[in-house]
Amino acid sequence: MRVLLSGSTGFIGSELARRLRERGDVVVPITRRSPDVGQVGVDLARGRLDTTRLPGGTLEGIGASVHLAGAPIIARWTTRRQEAIRSSRIALGDLIARSLTVLDSRPHVHVTGSAIGIYGDRGDEPLDESSPLGEGFLADVCRAWEAAAKPASDSGIRTVAIRTGIVLGRGGALGPQLPLFKLGLGGRIGSGRQWVSWISLEDEVRAILWAIDDPAASGPVNATAPEPVRNSDFTAALARALHRPAALTVPPAALRLALGRGPAAEMLLASQKVLPARLTAAGFEHRHPTIDSALEAAVR
């Protein structure tokens, strides 16, 4: 099967591309650079995909589409950064979805990225795919990100929105933390009571593959592990995996100073106890269901 993939060089996308090729699929990457043979270029300003480097110069024959591209959110949310966060997810997502609808032979599935930020800061409330959506910049971005796939679903393409938690693997969210924790300078964030909903990189990719392959998969799907943990427990587990102490505390004020009030509040201090109800109902079995298992795999 030929799989159209945006974000193929990213933390999750590169591993997904490797797994797709490993099982015999052909990955057709979407790139912002001038496309090489077998790649699709993108021009958001003109609202078009450049398919001239594909066989026949068209997307015809694509069996599945996955949109994972997105500018990094761990940064100060300047006006320019906010626009990059939106356009890379929403404008590109809309362009991809609309490009699929005009094909004579449409793909059988379109998978769009999303994130558990869509639920906002919810304290101790258990959240599944039926829970009301939240408020804030990230919630608004995720809501629009998922809505950008609507042209695909309206045209009859099975559409899945993967609401991803914190993905644990080498790189990603762990990247900035590991050097500090290895030096014994890690610690909980604020009170440490906020819920952290996470998933191993392996299980994240397996969830996306399930979304591609299972004809019953559609709508929003929480890509998280079945056991969310409080930040203090996450900190302790990472310290155990690295055999280092982690007795420090990162004051919220320091995070606000470093990143700004919005990113600190919505990314690091927000509490989201998100459960993978639809994955569980489908019989999906996590390879790393516990935080200790996931972190040991991530740091070894």
**What total number of domains does the chain contain?**
1
CA nearest to 209, candidates 149, 162, 166: 162
pTM assigned to the model: 0.97
**Residue 90: which CATH number?**
3.40.50.720
Kindly give the confidence (pLDDT) of every residue in the chain, 300 residues in length, as a single tens digit, with 9 standing for 90 and above. Answer: 999 999 999 999 999 999 999 999 999 999 999 999 999 999 988 899 999 999 999 999 999 999 999 999 988 999 999 999 999 999 999 999 999 999 999 999 999 999 999 999 999 999 999 999 999 999 999 999 999 999 999 999 999 999 999 999 988 889 989 999 999 989 999 999 999 999 999 999 999 999 999 999 999 999 999 999 999 999 999 999 999 999 899 999 999 999 999 999 999 999 999 999 999 999 999 999 999 999 999 998
248 inside domain: no
DSSP character string of 59-115: -TTEEEEEE------SS---HHHHHHHHIIIIIHHHHHHHHHHT-SS--SEEEEEEE
Domain of 118 in residue numbering reads as 2-172+197-224+274-287
Number of H helices, E strands in the chain: 12, 17
| 253 is a domain residue | no
Task: Decide if 237 is inside a domain.
Answer: no
Q: Is 214 among the domain residues?
A: yes
In a domain, 101, yes or no: yes
